[in-house]
Amino acid sequence: MNYFVGPYLWDGGWRRPPNAIDAIDLRNESQMGTPITQAGVGFFSSNVLLPGYTLLGTGDLRDINSTAMMKSAWQSELGYTPKGGKLVDLLYDHMTMGSDPTGIAASKAMIPDGKNIRLYFGSHGLVKSKQFSIGHSPESNQVLSVYQNDYSHIRDSVLSGDLPPDHHRKVLDYWGHEFNVKDPENLFVPANLPKETRLPHSTQISEDFNGDDQAQLGHQLTWVEGGDGTFWSNLDNNGKALKVPSSSNWDDPSSYPNSALSGTNQKCIIEVEILTGPGPQAGPCCRRSNTVITFYCVTWEPAEDNFMDIIKVVTGTRTFIGTTTGLSPPPATPRNPELQVMGNSLKSLMNGSEVETITDVSITGNLFCGLYGRRTAAGDSLEINNWSAEDISVAVPTGASLLMGLI
C-alpha cells in the first residue's frame, strides 16, 4: 500500500483523489466548509501512485519506519513536523499534538471515547489505540481545550435560547460519567466562565410519524426542516419525502427534531419503509448543529448497488469521508441504517451489522440528531417509518487514574 498527503478534489462535494482507497481529513474548518476552492490536504492510501500527491511510504503504515525526509515532506504540506517512529505515529501525533482544538488554524484535536483515543483508517481498521487519562496523558491539554470550547458554545446556545435552560449542566453530567469524574465543572468549564454544577442527564428520543397527513414532518416530536421546509411531510402514516430538489439542494433534508441530546457520543437509527427509483438516498444524522448546517450522516442508496457511505457537512459543504461500500446481499426488510459517533470514531451499520468504522475529528459538541433523505428524479420514492436517537453511555473503568477522582 502507498501513502500520500495531498489535496481533496471538488466534484459536487469534497472527495479523495481517484484511486485513493482510505482517507483522513487534515483540513481546518474553513477549508472543509468552503466549496470549490481547493485548500488543505488529507492523508490517503492507494494501491497505485497518485500523480501530484506527495508519497510518504510504501508498505503498511503501522510498520513503515519514519524518516527525516518523510517528516520534511509532512512539514512542507501541513506546516507541522510530527514525531514518532512509524508512519502511523506521525499521523497520530499530527492529529493530537499538532492539532488546533478550535479547528481554526489546523484540524481539531482527537478526543477519546472515555477510555481510549482510537485512530481508524478505513479498510485498514483500527491502526492505533492509546489509553487516555485526563491530566496524565500528554494529549490532555489538547483534549480538554476541545471540550472547553464545546462547553462554551453549548452554554452560549442555552443563554441565547437555542437550547433549553440549564442544558449545559446536563452535558457536564454526561461528560462526568464519560470520564468518571466527580466534579466535571473543574475540568470542562473554561476559566472565564462560572463553574455551574452538573444536573442529571438522560436522553432517548423517538418518532414514528404516525400522525395525521400534514405538510409538517413529525408526530411525537417538533421537527426543524432543512432548506425551504417543504421536503418532508407526514403522509400515509410515514415521514415521506415529497419534494424533488435540484442537485444543489443536498441539505434540504437535513431535518432534526428540536430536542437536544445531552451527550456528544450519539446513536441515531431510522427504519426505511420505501426507497425506490434511480437515485434516492436516506440515512440518520448525528452531531447536527441547530444554528448552521453541520452534521455527520450515513447515506444508503439501493439503486447504486446498495451503497452505504459516511459524509460530513460543514457549514453547508459536504465531504465524502467514508469508503463507499456496496451491501451484498441487499439488506432484508425492515432496513435500518444506523450511525454511531463515539469520540472521533464514526460507525455505520445496517440492521445492526457494522459496515465500516472511520475516524474524523471535524465535528464535536453538537447535540442534535436528524434525518437525511434525497430525491434526484421524479420517479424516486422515499418513506421513513421510524426514527430514534440516544446518548451512548461510555464510562472509563472504576479505578482508572484520573485527575479529579471517581464518581
Residue 231 has pLDDT above 80, yes or no: no
Of the pLDDT bands very low, low, confident and very high (cuts 50, 70, 90), residue 245 is very low
Query: Does residue 115 or residue 345 have the better pLDDT?
Result: 345
Cell of 352: 445492526
Of the pLDDT bands very low, low, confident and very high (cuts 50, 70, 90), residue 230 is low
If you average pLDDT over residues 264-283, what whole number do you get? 83
If you average pLDDT over residues 262-279, what whole number do you get? 84
Beta-strand runs (E) in 203-316: 204-207, 223-224, 232-235, 238-241, 256-257, 266-276, 281-288, 295-301, 307-314
Q: Which of 139, 202, 141 is nearest to 174 (CA)?
A: 202
Residue 244 has pLDDT above 50, yes or no: no
pLDDT digits (tens, 9 = 90+) for 12-54: 899 999 999 999 999 999 999 999 887 789 999 999 999 999 9
- From the centroid of its chain, how far is CA 6? 22
pLDDT digits (tens, 9 = 90+) for 175-209: 999 999 999 999 999 999 999 999 999 889 999 88
324's CB contacts (< 8 A; 6+ apart) are: 307, 308, 309
> What's 3's DSSP letter?
E
Residue 241 has pLDDT above 90, yes or no: no
pLDDT of residue 405: 34
54 with 42: CB under 8 angstroms?
no
Beta-strand runs (E) in 26-115: 41-46, 54-58
pLDDT of residue 277: 65
pLDDT digits (tens, 9 = 90+) for 279-328: 678 899 999 999 898 999 998 887 666 888 999 999 989 999 998 777 87
149's CB contacts (< 8 A; 6+ apart) are: 101, 102, 190, 365
- Separation of alpha carbons 179 and 182, rounded Å: 9
If you average pLDDT over residues 81-102, what whole number do you get? 97
Residue 226 has pLDDT above 80, yes or no: no
pLDDT digits (tens, 9 = 90+) for 111-170: 998 789 999 999 999 999 999 998 899 999 999 999 999 999 999 999 999 999 999 999
